[in-house]
């Protein structure tokens, strides 16, 4: 049954104040017509992509030389080139504001609170830039960081980008092998890490892990340890080519940051795929495309303005960190948080919102659902009068989650459910602050994004589930994959299903309101609690254990989320008892991260494989969810599928 009453409708005053409304006026003038709705504006942004992105550049005040050409080979995907003559610097666009106002506020779970003004941030970036240059860092070199979400991570990225170096980061709870699987591929010359971090009331020293990682990263010229626990200087003395940040910066006085203007597609970030079929793929994103896409999303879809106070609960290992940091380009204050969102009692993020007059509250669907089940009602306990937008991503937000936001958090707020990915360091579908919010629906496709839902025959479908695609090129497509000189991995990742059309791997559906519902991943990527993880990373740990002959991992839809289920075929004479389960979980937690730990571990006698010997995760996932497998003829042992049907252990 279709819900005919929206959960929220923007007031005329809200609509008039939104940046997208002002942009629509300018777009109408440019197009020689009058756009009366978001749908009109979106249609023009697709039909006239060059004019649209040109106007985004001008409206958002991008600093740089635009060049003559706006878009070449626009019908090729990949192959299209936006602003091929442009020269700009990403960090210059994020650091154009100066003064004593807050640029970054940092709250740590251990009660630490720090503030950096725009001048403070500029000074820290200046000193880091000088340090990097003294270490011989140059254009194209990689600077890697295993960092908490603290100001030094943001400043390190900006310093690297100012030179034209490439930034890559993960969070400090990754296991040693998880870090090496990523950074080992890109050979960083500088490595930033903390002495430790706090989570759920516990102090976690990572100095031994950092030392072990450095022993296997011979490309690193200098490791820089950032003080969080107060032991960075002591830890650095035990490592070769390592120094505490304060000591490393001591020779350098703050001065004006210099910015190297580089081509629009110059590499800015390396992000990582989930590692479903092997070690993670290294996805290279360009500076210009990332900047334009984030400016568009922040201002037109998030309603972010100069002076706003922008928060997203994220780690440095998730693309939402990259998205968050770009808020500096709009002149917003970044509100950073590191630690558990529920320590000690579930109120810490709302306490933060109150204290810092947060205007944009970004979180995950899992957080909202957990809050709903906990019985906490911030609407009754907190003054959230400054919050204009609540944003949710990571996994689909349930209708119950939508209802809770308005019933339990704030009644008059724009709820922006958003979805995109690491692959595009941005969103395909997201919020529109001048349109109604309907229960369970993402509001619309992003401006400039030719998003659609196709069936298996490449036919667009409405109110029917299908593959989420993007039919035309956009600026934040990856520049390349690392170590993929002929582009085969890149092409295989997105363009094998439909020629010259991006196929994202999401199972999606348009609604009668023109919104979208994401039904989850259509491939084997796991997404528990909104965190993308790969099965191969789990296998790499579990199958080192002599008790485990073989393993298969799926995501099971359960209780409004996705939980990780690990099936194990045991070695001869081994039983799956409590002790073995505990050791399996410990192995995964220490070798990968806490997020990889399965909710259920189930012993099975056999695991289905294709005729070429590959395990079939998708087939098992279908059987577990009660769906029939269509291609059993491709399996060498199709009878094994019956071992996974109607398992009692997966009903609770």
Say what the pLDDT of residue 274 is. 63
Average pLDDT over residues 498-520: 91
* Domain covering 12-89+265-521: architecture: 3-Layer(aba) Sandwich (3.40)
Confidence bin at 277 (pLDDT 50/70/90): very low
Measure the CA–CA gap between 91 and 262, rounded to whole angstroms: 11
3-state secondary structure 35-77: CCCHHHHHHHHHHCHHHHHHHHHHHCCCCEECCCCCEECCCCC
Q: Model confidence over 585-629: pLDDT tens digits?
A: 999 999 888 888 999 999 999 999 764 456 788 889 889 999 888
12-89+265-521 and 102-260 share one fold: yes
- Strand positions, DSSP E, 89-201: 102-108, 113-117, 142-146, 166-170, 190-194, 196-199
Average pLDDT over residues 233-260: 97
Q: Which helix (H) or strand (E) holds 248?
A: helix 245-249
Q: Model confidence over 626-651: pLDDT tens digits?
A: 988 865 755 678 899 999 999 999 99
Tokens standing for 472?
Answer: 């035309």
Confidence bin at 353 (pLDDT 50/70/90): very high
Q: Model confidence over 322-345: pLDDT tens digits?
A: 999 999 999 999 999 999 999 999
Checking if the pLDDT of 458 tops 70, the result is yes
Mean pLDDT of the chain: 93
Residues facing residue 550 across a β-bridge: 569
408: exposed, middle or buried (Cβ count in 10 Å: 0-12, 13-18, 19+) = middle
Residue 529, by phi and psi: left (phi above 0), alpha (psi -120 to 50) or beta?
left
Instruction: Give the single-character DSSP code of 385.
Output: T
Say what the pLDDT of residue 634 is. 53
List the one residue out of 369, 384, 402, 340 whose CA is nearest residue 173.
Answer: 340
CA 90 to chain CA centroid, nearest Å: 19
pTM of the full structure: 0.86
Say what the pLDDT of residue 611 is. 45
The string over 365-392, giving b where at least 16 C-beta atoms fall within 10 Å of a residue's C-beta and e elsewhere, is bbbbbbbbeeebebbeebebeebbbbbb
What residues contact residue 577 under an 8 Å CB cut-off, 6+ apart? none
Backbone phi, psi, residue 82, to 5°: -85, 135
Measure the CA–CA gap between 565 and 555, rounded to whole angstroms: 6
Asked which of 14-18, 291-295, 335-339, 609-613 is least confident by mean pLDDT, the reply is 609-613
Q: How many helices (H) and strands (E) does the chain have?
A: 21, 32
The CATH code belonging to domain 102-260 is 3.40.50.980
Give helix 118-134 / helix 151-163 axis angle, nearest 10°.
Answer: 60
Q: Model confidence over 114-172: pLDDT tens digits?
A: 999 999 999 999 999 999 999 999 999 999 999 999 999 999 999 999 999 999 999 99
Measure the CA–CA gap between 452 and 503, rounded to whole angstroms: 10
The CATH code belonging to domain 533-650 is 3.30.300.30
What residues contact residue 269 under an 8 Å CB cut-off, 6+ apart? 166, 167, 168, 284, 285, 290, 322, 425
Instruction: Give the single-character DSSP code of 190.
Output: E
Confidence bin at 524 (pLDDT 50/70/90): low
Tokens standing for 533?
Answer: 């993880």
Hey, how many other C-beta atoms are within 10 angstroms of the C-beta on 613?
7
Say what the pLDDT of residue 400 is. 85
Checking if the pLDDT of 304 tops 50, the result is yes
Percent of the chain's residues with pLDDT above 90: 79
Say what the pLDDT of residue 111 is. 84
Say what the pLDDT of residue 613 is. 58
Residues facing residue 416 across a β-bridge: 391
Hey, how many other C-beta atoms are within 10 angstroms of the C-beta on 180?
16
Measure the CA–CA gap between 11 and 135, rounded to whole angstroms: 54
Confidence bin at 530 (pLDDT 50/70/90): low
Say what the pLDDT of residue 633 is. 53
Q: Model confidence over 69-82: pLDDT tens digits?
A: 999 999 999 999 99
Average pLDDT over residues 433-445: 97
- Domain residue spans in the chain? 12-89+265-521, 102-260, 533-650
Average pLDDT over residues 520-530: 68
Hey, how many other C-beta atoms are within 10 angstroms of the C-beta on 201?
11
Contact between 287 and 88 under an 8 Å Cβ cutoff? The reply is: yes
Alpha-helical (H) ranges within 570-635 are 578-591, 617-624
Checking if the pLDDT of 1 tops 60, the result is no
Average pLDDT over residues 448-460: 95
Q: Model confidence over 372-394: pLDDT tens digits?
A: 878 899 999 999 999 999 999 97
Average pLDDT over residues 90-105: 98
């Amino acid at each position: 049954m279709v819900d005919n009453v929206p959960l929220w409708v923007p007031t005329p005053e809200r609509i008039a104040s939104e940046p997208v409304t002002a942009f629509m006026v300018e777009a109408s003038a440019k197009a020689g017509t009058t756009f009366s709705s978001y749908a009109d504006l979106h249609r023009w942004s697709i039909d006239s992509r060059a004019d649209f992105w040109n106007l985004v550049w001008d409206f958002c005040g991008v600093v740089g030389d635009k060049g003559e050409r706006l878009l070449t080979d626009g019908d090729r995907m990949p192959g299209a080139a936006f602003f091929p003559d442009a020269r700009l610097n990403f960090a210059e666009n994020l650091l154009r504001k100066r003064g004593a106002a807050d640029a970054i506020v940092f709250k740590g779970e251990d009660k630490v609170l720090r503030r950096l003004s725009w001048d403070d941030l500029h000074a820290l970036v200046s000193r880091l830039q000088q340090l990097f240059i003294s270490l011989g860092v140059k254009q194209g070199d990689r600077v890697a960081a295993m960092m908490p979400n603290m100001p030094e991570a943001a400043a390190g990225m900006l310093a690297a980008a100012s030179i034209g170096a490439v930034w890559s980061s993960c969070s400090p709870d990754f296991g040693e092998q998880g870090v090496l699987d990523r950074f080992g591929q890109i050979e960083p010359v500088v490595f930033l890490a903390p002495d430790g971090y706090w989570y759920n009331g516990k102090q976690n020293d990572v100095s031994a892990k950092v030392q072990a990682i450095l022993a296997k990263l011979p490309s690193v010229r200098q490791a820089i340890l950032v003080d969080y626990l107060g032991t960075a200087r002591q830890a650095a003395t035990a490592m070769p080519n390592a120094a505490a940040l304060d000591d490393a910066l001591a020779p350098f006085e703050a001065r004006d940051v210099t910015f190297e203007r580089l081509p629009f597609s110059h590499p800015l970030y390396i992000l990582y795929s989930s590692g479903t079929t092997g070690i993670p793929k290294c996805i290279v994103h360009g500076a210009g495309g990332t900047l334009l896409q984030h400016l568009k999303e922040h201002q037109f879809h998030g309603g972010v303005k100069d002076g706003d106070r922008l928060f997203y609960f994220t780690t440095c290992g998730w693309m939402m960190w990259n998205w968050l940091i770009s808020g500096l380009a709009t002149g917003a204050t970044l509100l950073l948080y590191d630690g558990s969102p529920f320590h000690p009692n579930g109120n810490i993020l709302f306490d933060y919102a109150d204290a810092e007059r947060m205007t944009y509250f970004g979180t995950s669907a899992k957080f909202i659902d957990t809050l709903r089940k906990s019985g906490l009602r911030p609407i009754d306990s907190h003054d959230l009068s400054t919050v204009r937008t609540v944003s949710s991503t990571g996994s689909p937000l349930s209708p119950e989650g939508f209802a809770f936001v308005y019933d339990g958090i704030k009644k008059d707020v724009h709820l922006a459910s958003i979805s995109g990915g690491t692959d595009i360091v941005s969103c395909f579908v997201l919020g529109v602050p001048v349109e109604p919010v309907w229960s369970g629906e993402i509001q619309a496709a992003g401006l400039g994004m030719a998003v659609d839902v196709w069936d298996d025959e490449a036919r667009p479908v409405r109110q029917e589930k299908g593959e989420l695609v993007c039919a035309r090129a956009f600026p934040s497509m990856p520049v390349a994959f690392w170590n993929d000189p002929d582009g085969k991995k890149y092409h295989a990742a997105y363009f094998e299903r439909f020629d010259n059309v991006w196929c994202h791997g999401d199972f999606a559906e348009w609604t009668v309101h023109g919104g979208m519902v994401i039904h989850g991943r259509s491939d084997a990527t796991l997404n528990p609690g909104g965190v993308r993880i790969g099965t191969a990373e789990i296998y790499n740990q579990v199958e080192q254990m002599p008790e485990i002959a073989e393993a298969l991992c799926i995501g099971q839809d359960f209780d409004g989320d996705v939980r990780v289920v690990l099936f194990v075929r045991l070695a001869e004479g081994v039983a799956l008892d409590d002790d073995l389960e505990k050791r399996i979980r410990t192995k995964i937690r220490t070798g990968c991260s806490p997020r990889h730990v399965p909710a259920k571990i189930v012993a099975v006698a056999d695991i289905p494989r294709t005729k070429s010997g590959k395990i079939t995760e998708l087939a098992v996932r279908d059987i577990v969810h009660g769906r029939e497998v269509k291609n059993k003829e491709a399996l060498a042992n199709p009878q094994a599928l019956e071992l996974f049907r109607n398992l009692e252990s997966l009903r609770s």
